[in-house]
Chains A and B, each alone.
Chain A
Amino acid sequence: MAVPLPSEEAKASVGVSVPRREGHDKVTGRARYTDDLEFPDAWRGKTVRSTIPRGKLKSLTLDPAFDWAQVVVVTAADVPGENVVQLIKDDQPALAEREIHHREEPLALIAGPDRDTLEAAARHVRIEYQSLDPVLHLEHATRELARVDIDKGDVDHALQEADTIVEREFRAGHQEQLYIEPQGAIAVPSDDGGITIYGSLQCPYYVHKAVVRALGLPDDRVVVVPAEVGGAFGGKEEYPSLVAIHAALLAVKAKRPVRLVYERHEDIAATTKRHPAVVRHRTGVTKDGTLVAQDIEFVLDGGAYCTLSPVVLSRGAIHAAGPYSCPNVRIRARALATNTPPNGAFRGFGAPQSQFAAELMVEHVAEALGMSSIDLRREWMLRVGDTTATSQQLNESVGTELVLDAALQNAPPVAVPSAPNLRHGRGVSLVYHGSGFTGSGEKYLASTVAIECTAEREFRVLTSQTEMGQGTNTILSQIAANALGVPYETVTVAPQDTSIVPNSGPTVASRTVMVVGALLADAARELRDKLTTERPPMRVDKTYVQPEWIQWDDERYHGDAYPAFAFQCTVADVQVDLDTGEVRVTNLVAALDPGRAIHPVMAEGQVEGGVLQAVGYATLEEMKMEDGGFVNDRLATYIIPTSLDAPKIKTVLVENPYSGGPFGAKGIGEIPMDGPAPAVMAAIHDATGIWLDELPATPEKLLVALST
Chain B
Amino acid sequence: MPYPRFLKPRSLAEALGQLAMTSDCRPLAGGTDLLVTLHAGQSHPGALIDIWSLDELKGVREVDGAIEVGAAESYTHIIESPLVNRHAPALAEAARTIGAAQIQNRGTLGGNLGTASPAGDTLPVMLAADATILTSRRTIPASDFFVGYRTTALEPDELIVAIRFPRDGRRIRFRKVGTRQAQAISKVVMAVSLEPARVAIGSVAEVPLRALAAEAALADGDLERAVEAVGSDVRPIDDVRSTATYRRQVTQNVLRRLLSEGAS
A and B in contact, CB less than 8 Å: yes
For this complex, 22 residue pairs linking A to B, each with C-beta atoms less than 8 Å apart, are A116-B1, A579-B250, A579-B256, A580-B250, A582-B177, A584-B181, A620-B180, A631-B240, A632-B240, A639-B179, A639-B180, A641-B180, A642-B100, A642-B180, A644-B181, A644-B182, A645-B180, A699-B177, A699-B246, A699-B250, A700-B245, A704-B246
* B242: A residues at CB distance < 8 A: 699-700
Q: How far is the CA of A421 from the CA of B250 in the complex (A)?
A: 12
Q: How far is the CA of A639 from the CA of B187 in the complex (A)?
A: 13
Q: Is B65 an interface residue (CB 8 A)?
A: no
Q: Is A58 an interface residue (CB 8 A)?
A: no
Q: How far is the CA of A641 from the CA of B179 in the complex (A)?
A: 10
* A704: B residues at CB distance < 8 A: 245-246
* B177: A residues at CB distance < 8 A: 580, 582, 699
0/1 string, A642-663, CB within 8 A of B gives 1: 1111000000000000000000
Q: Is the CB of A645 within 8 A of B240?
A: no
Additional pairs, 8, CB under 8 Å, beyond known A119-B41, A579-B254: A637-B240, A642-B180, A642-B181, A645-B180, A699-B177, A703-B250, A704-B245, A704-B246
Q: Is the CB of B183 within 8 A of A700?
A: no
* A116: B residues at CB distance < 8 A: 1-2
0/1 string, A676-708, CB within 8 A of B gives 1: 000000000000000000000001100110010
Q: How far is the CA of A703 from the CA of B242 in the complex (A)?
A: 12
Which of B1, B243, B253 contacts A579 (CB under 8 A)? B253
Q: Is A24 an interface residue (CB 8 A)?
A: no
Which of B179, B180, B246 contacts A703 (CB under 8 A)? B246
Q: A637-B241, A639-B179 are in contact. Are A700 and B246 (CB under 8 A)?
A: yes
Q: A639-B179, A644-B182, A703-B249 are in contact. Are A119 and B1 (CB under 8 A)?
A: yes
| A398-449 interface (Cβ within 8 A of B) | 421
Q: Is the CB of B182 within 8 A of A643?
A: yes
* A580: B residues at CB distance < 8 A: 177, 250, 253-254
Q: How far is the CA of A644 from the CA of B249 in the complex (A)?
A: 25
Q: Is B10 an interface residue (CB 8 A)?
A: no
Q: Is the CB of A642 within 8 A of B183?
A: yes
Q: Is A636 an interface residue (CB 8 A)?
A: yes
Q: How far is the CA of A253 from the CA of B4 in the complex (A)?
A: 33
Q: How far is the CA of A101 from the CA of B240 in the complex (A)?
A: 24
Q: Is A89 an interface residue (CB 8 A)?
A: no
Q: Is B185 an interface residue (CB 8 A)?
A: yes
* A637: B residues at CB distance < 8 A: 240-241
Q: Is A624 an interface residue (CB 8 A)?
A: yes
- Closest B residue to A616 by beta carbon equals B180
Q: What's the nearest-Cβ distance from chain A to residue B123, in Å?
A: 18
Q: What's the nearest-Cβ distance from chain B to residue A575, in Å?
A: 12
Which of B1, B182, B187, B243 contacts A645 (CB under 8 A)? B182
| B27-42 interface (Cβ within 8 A of A) | 41
0/1 string, B1-30, CB within 8 A of A gives 1: 110000000000000000000000000000
* A707: B residues at CB distance < 8 A: 249
Q: Is the CB of B41 within 8 A of A636?
A: no
Interface size for A (C-beta < 8 A) is 26
Nearest 8 CB-CB pairings of A with B: A644-B181, A579-B253, A642-B182, A644-B182, A700-B246, A645-B181, A639-B179, A637-B240
Q: How far is the CA of A631 from the CA of B242 in the complex (A)?
A: 13
Q: How far is the CA of A703 from the CA of B177 in the complex (A)?
A: 13
Q: Is B257 an interface residue (CB 8 A)?
A: yes
* B257: A residues at CB distance < 8 A: 421, 579
- Closest B residue to A642 by beta carbon equals B182
- Closest A residue to B246 by beta carbon equals A700
A-side interface mostly: loop
- Closest B residue to A701 by beta carbon equals B246
Q: How far is the CA of A37 from the CA of B179 in the complex (A)?
A: 36
Q: How far is the CA of A642 from the CA of B177 in the complex (A)?
A: 16
Q: How far is the CA of A246 from the CA of B108 in the complex (A)?
A: 43
A119, A624, A636, A704 interface centre (most CB from chain B within 10 Å)? A636
* B249: A residues at CB distance < 8 A: 703, 707
Q: How far is the CA of A603 from the CA of B256 in the complex (A)?
A: 47
| B149-200 interface (Cβ within 8 A of A) | 177, 179-183, 185, 187
Q: How far is the CA of A645 from the CA of B183 in the complex (A)?
A: 10
| B61-116 interface (Cβ within 8 A of A) | 100
Q: How far is the CA of A584 from the CA of B178 in the complex (A)?
A: 13
* A644: B residues at CB distance < 8 A: 180-182
Q: How far is the CA of A582 from the CA of B175 in the complex (A)?
A: 13
0/1 string, B213-228, CB within 8 A of A gives 1: 0000000000000000
Q: What's the nearest-Cβ distance from chain B to residue A314, in Å?
A: 34
B180, B187, B254 interface centre (most CB from chain A within 10 Å)? B180
Q: How far is the CA of A230 from the CA of B4 in the complex (A)?
A: 33
Q: What's the nearest-Cβ distance from chain A to residue B226, in Å?
A: 16
B2, B242, B246, B256 interface centre (most CB from chain A within 10 Å)? B246
Q: What's the nearest-Cβ distance from chain A to residue B240, in Å?
A: 5
* B254: A residues at CB distance < 8 A: 579-580
- Closest A residue to B256 by beta carbon equals A579
Q: A579-B250, A700-B246, A707-B249 are in contact. Are A624 and B181 (CB under 8 A)?
A: no
Q: What's the nearest-Cβ distance from chain B to residue A517, in Å?
A: 37
- Closest B residue to A116 by beta carbon equals B1
0/1 string, B223-264, CB within 8 A of A gives 1: 000000000000000001111011001100110110000000
Q: What's the nearest-Cβ distance from chain B to residue A2, in Å?
A: 56
- Closest B residue to A641 by beta carbon equals B180
Q: How far is the CA of A424 from the CA of B240 in the complex (A)?
A: 29
* A624: B residues at CB distance < 8 A: 240
Q: Is the CB of B243 within 8 A of A700?
A: yes
B100, B177, B256 interface centre (most CB from chain A within 10 Å)? B177
0/1 string, A106-119, CB within 8 A of B gives 1: 00000000001001
Q: How far is the CA of A584 from the CA of B243 in the complex (A)?
A: 20
Q: How far is the CA of A641 from the CA of B240 in the complex (A)?
A: 17
* A582: B residues at CB distance < 8 A: 177
Q: What's the nearest-Cβ distance from chain B to residue A617, in Å?
A: 14
Q: How far is the CA of A581 from the CA of B245 in the complex (A)?
A: 13
Q: How far is the CA of A639 from the CA of B177 in the complex (A)?
A: 14
Q: What's the nearest-Cβ distance from chain A to residue B93, in Å?
A: 16
* B181: A residues at CB distance < 8 A: 584, 642, 644-645
Q: How far is the CA of A582 from the CA of B242 in the complex (A)?
A: 12
- Closest B residue to A578 by beta carbon equals B253
Q: How far is the CA of A628 from the CA of B218 in the complex (A)?
A: 46
Q: How far is the CA of A707 from the CA of B245 in the complex (A)?
A: 12
- Closest A residue to B250 by beta carbon equals A580
Q: How far is the CA of A232 from the CA of B48 in the complex (A)?
A: 38
* B185: A residues at CB distance < 8 A: 636
Q: How far is the CA of A637 from the CA of B187 in the complex (A)?
A: 12
* A632: B residues at CB distance < 8 A: 240
- Closest B residue to A699 by beta carbon equals B246
Q: How far is the CA of A578 from the CA of B253 in the complex (A)?
A: 9
| A49-93 interface (Cβ within 8 A of B) | none
* A645: B residues at CB distance < 8 A: 180-182
- Closest A residue to B255 by beta carbon equals A579
* B246: A residues at CB distance < 8 A: 581, 699-700, 703-704
| A195-236 interface (Cβ within 8 A of B) | none
